[in-house]
Structure 1
Amino acid sequence: MRRDGRARWTEDDNVLLMRAHFIAKDLEQTSERTYRQILTEVWNDIRPDKPLYTNLLANRVRWMIENEKFSVVELRNIQLNIRPQGNEPIDEGEEHHEELRQSDDEDNGLTYKVDRYFCKNLLLYTGLSPENRPSIPRMKGSRMMVEKMLMVNKIIGKHISSNSSLGDLVDLVYAGALTVCEQLGKSVIKRCTNSTGQQPPWKCRIEKKIGNIRKKIGVLHTYLNSESPSSKVHKTVRRIASEFRIKPQTSVFTGQLESLCDNLKQRVKALGNRLRRYNERIKRYQNNQMYYKNQKQFFRNLESPEKTEEDPPEPEKFYEYWETIWGREKQHDDGAHWIREAEDESSKYVMDNITITKQDVEEVLKRTNNWAAPGPDGVHNYWWKHFTNTHGAMAALFQKAMRTHR
């Protein structure tokens, strides 16, 4: 919120609001609630940290549409991303839910409730970038958790089709994991929006404090080493003296200022040592991580630790460099004996046709760490292991990638 109480809208907030608008329009057809009620509920689910009242949200949507805040293509992409790509549209409360209601299973009511939560999460987060999704926490295994995962696994199987892509599977697994967390009463973690290169707040505070102390030291040094300081310096020195409870009327005023100046210098040195220890610790941590992940790059950094930023070469220099290599005509002996020997040797070997099966995917997942989340999506391996209905679809996608190289 701004100081005047008005909401501050970022580009991501505008996209999320239009997303909530299309979801509300979609659910309005199958619900007894009004568009405004659904819009407010969906927005509060997406942004619980920024609750807003109904009129503000509706007026903001109307203003963005009237002023063409988004192009027609952008609006179309936002509208398409509220549903999983490659699957048939899911009408909440329609045929899919009727099948659940007519089931003879004794847990029919509970399964229907879980399915509603799953559909809500799938609508909210399908196609959304990982930065705008809440982070899924680690969970302790329990019998209740296993029961919830079995329910969600069956629901996921009904949303998978032959046209499902790997991105669709990620959205389904994410929505399933989020549904299990909600059913167990586990609160999700809001993902940090700070960029990777941004400094921590406490370091910024220390640097700001060092800057303020250095300003005071500069003013005191000017006052103590000047025969006739200006009135502005006098005024600033009196303010600094008042801050540290030094009375200007005393005879030892100059001595107290000298002692204060030395004290401030020691404070700056102490704060600087704290920053130095922090930077050294970060450097050690980064070197350790680099050594375990990429030893070649680690030793390269040791050889040339300082990186100098240089302007990229001009296109003419690129052309001149590669022309000296590829621009010269050379005569090659295509009938050399070693070429024939290599061709004869290669004809003896035939590459086996590799078939990736569901069992192969399960074997690979068994060897992974449960609560490691490789990649930017933040989905832990634990969920991929236990949502077994995705294993066959993953095997088919991997096999297709090997066959078509796409």
Structure 2
Amino acid sequence: MDLEWSIRHLCINRKITTPGDVARPLSGVLVGVQSLQLTGRPRLIVPRKVPSRALSSNVALVNGGMRLFLLGLPLPLSLELANQLTYAAAVLVLVVSGVAPCRLSGGDHGRETAPGWLLRIQRKIENVRKDVSRLTSFIQAGNPRLFTRYPVKSSDEAAALLKSKKMELLALSARIRRYKDNIKRKQQNQAFRENERQFYHSLGTQEADCSDQTRPGMGALHDFWSGIWSEPFSVSRHGWIEREALAYQDVQPQEDAVITPELFQLAVGRLPHWRAAGPDSIRPFWLKKFSALHPALLRIFQRLLDSEVVPPPRFSLGATVLLPKKGDLSKPQNWRPITCLPSMNNFSHL
């Protein structure tokens, strides 16, 4: 069963009102998720347009259904299956909320669009610019009466109307700047309340020209970082490791750590809701909200900590994004790599 087919089927028949209605569609989406590679999943959208109360209600509905679904699965749950279940449940929540969870082929579902107020003002600006262009052409042709959109009878009236249209264009442009400044001010206030250090860092970072002409090619980036990380090097010990081992030989070894439910919930609370997803396309919000999986995840991470199991290598894969620094952006060394690991990988390190 294809994942896209499962999503389209759910969008048509999304009659899920009780937790008992969740098992069948969840298993259908899960089969579609299992048919894909970890890095081949569609990127789930952030449900900004869904009211928070509706989203919380739908999360609780799917979470209750997942508790019933887990009763029929063999335990212990594997890390891979828990990851697939989280993604499938997130898809189900988005579908029940009435939004397309990702961009499907043949449509624009999930595409990020500009806010409505900006689109309305941009349409007004486009119409005013057309009027300015027509008025200018008609005035230069010496026959302003050709401009039939407005009752213009003389060149003086046409010139006055042209001036009025240019002033309207400036006013609309100023309105966009004012709205954007207001939104930026609110975002900065929120960033200051949540993380002062990151806020001051963002103030000192200037926007750089990141056009395609300034970006280095993939070959240059690969050669630059391969020269740093792929070249073998030797470490000069000079006996310092032996001295450190001798200095701490009386220190008692640490007891085996036990992850209690309280520590687990504390780690869950530290995760930012909508941190960028890694190759698994799962944001921390879904891991935090699907509490039905928390007991299974606690057992999985405890076994990982006790080295009873080894996580699959694909859970160490990351999606690397290059952020511009200062200087010539055509040089690879002026780009800072940031790697987004799978959310469950970050989850296990808290």
**Offset of residue 171 of structure 1:** 5.3
RMSD: 4.9
In 2, distance between residues paired with 1:321 and 1:150? 51
Give the one of 376, 383, 387 matched to 2:283.
376
Q: Please give the alpha-carbon distance, in whole angstroms, between the structure 2 residues aligned to 1:379 and 1:316.
A: 34
- Establish whether residue 354 from structure 1 lines up as the match of residue 241 from structure 2: no
2:72 to 149, 154, 158: 158
1:345 equivalent in alignment to 2:257: no
User: TM-score scaled to structure 2, two decimals?
Assistant: 0.57
Residue aligned with 2:215, SS: coil
Select 2:86's aligned residue among 170, 176, 182.
170
CA–CA separation in structure 2 for the residues paired with 1:141 and 1:221: 55
Q: 1:315 to 1:257 in 2, by over 3 A?
A: closer
Q: Is the 8 A contact 1:368 1:381 kept in 2?
A: no
Matched residue, 1:264: 165
**Alignment size in residue pairs:** 271
Match of 1:26 in 2: none
**Greater C-alpha Rg:** 1
In structure 2, distance between residues paired with 1:48 and 1:351: 54
Q: Residue 4 of structure 2 corresponds to which residue in structure 1?
A: 16
Residue 209 of structure 1: how far off its partner (Å): 2.6
| Distance apart, 1:220 and its partner CA | 2.5
Match of 1:57 in 2: none
CA 1:290/1:322 → structure 2, altered by over 3 Å: closer, same or farther? same
TM-score by length of 1: 0.51
Partner of 2:201: 300
The equivalent position to 1:188 in structure 2, one of 89, 97, 115, is 97
Give distance in 2, aligned partners of 1:306 and 1:151.
46
- One-letter amino acid matched to 1:265: K
- Structure 2 distance, partners of 1:368, 1:377, is 10
What does residue 217 of structure 1 align with?
132
Which structure has more RCO (C-alpha within 8 Å, separation ≥ 6)? 2
CA contact (8 A) 1:220 1:257 kept: yes
SS at match of 2:128: helix
Spell out the pairing of 1:118-133 with structure 2 (5 A cutoff). 118-126=22-30, 127=33, 129=42, 131=44
8 Å contact kept, 2:86–2:287: no
Q: For each residue in 1:182-234, what CA deviation from the matched residue of structure 2 results, as whole angstroms up to 9, or x when unmatched?
A: 9xxxx6232574445x422432342243233223223423444x4xx28xxx5
Structure 1 residue aligned with 2:53: 138
Q: Is this contact kept in 1: 2:3–2:29, CA < 8 A?
A: no
Q: How does 1:389-404 map to 2 (within 5 A)?
A: 390-402=293-305, 403=307
Letter in 2 for 1:167: N
Amino acid at match of 1:156: L
SS at match of 2:158: helix
How do 1:1-400 residues align onto structure 2 when only pairs under 5 Å count? Answer: 16-17=4-5, 19=6, 43=9, 45-47=10-12, 115=20, 117-126=21-30, 127=33, 129=42, 131=44, 138=53, 153-159=67-73, 161-165=75-79, 166-170=82-86, 188-191=97-100, 193-196=109-112, 198-224=113-139, 226=140, 229=141, 234=143, 237-238=144-145, 240=147, 242-246=148-152, 248=153, 253-292=154-193, 294-309=195-210, 310-312=214-216, 314=220, 318=224, 332=236, 334-335=238-239, 339-349=241-251, 350-358=253-261, 360-361=263-264, 376=283, 379=286, 381=288, 383-384=290-291, 387=292, 390-400=293-303
Percent identical across equivalent pairs? 17
Distance in 2 between residues matched to 1:173 and 1:156, nearest whole Å: 12
Deviation at 1:395, TM superposition (A): 1.1
SS in 2 for 1:352: coil
Cα separation, 2, equivalents of 1:160 and 1:282: 49
1:280 partner SS: helix
CA contact (8 A) 1:174 1:379 kept: yes
* Residues in 2 aligned to 1:161 and 1:209: alpha-carbon distance in whole angstroms: 60
The one-character-per-residue Cα deviations of 1:91-114 (angstroms, maximum 9, x if unpaired) are: xxxxxxxxxxxxxxxxxxxxxx85
In structure 2, how many angstroms separate the alpha carbons of the residues matched to 1:382 and 1:315?
38
For the Cα contact (< 8 Å) 2:86–2:290, is it kept in 1?
no
Matched-pair contact (CA < 8 Å) for 1:290–1:298? yes
Q: Distance in 1 between matches of 2:227 and 2:55?
A: 59
Shift of 1:136: 9.3
How has the CA–CA distance of structure 1 residues 360 and 188 changed in structure 2, closer, same or farther, with 3 Å as cutoff? same
Deviations 1:2-46 (A, max 9, x none): xxxxxxxxxxxx9623x48xxxxxxxxxxxxxxxxxxxxx82x33
Unaligned 5+ segments in structure 1 are 1-13, 21-41, 50-112
Q: Distance in 1 between matches of 2:51 and 2:284?
A: 10
Structure 1 residue 267 displacement after superposition: 1.1
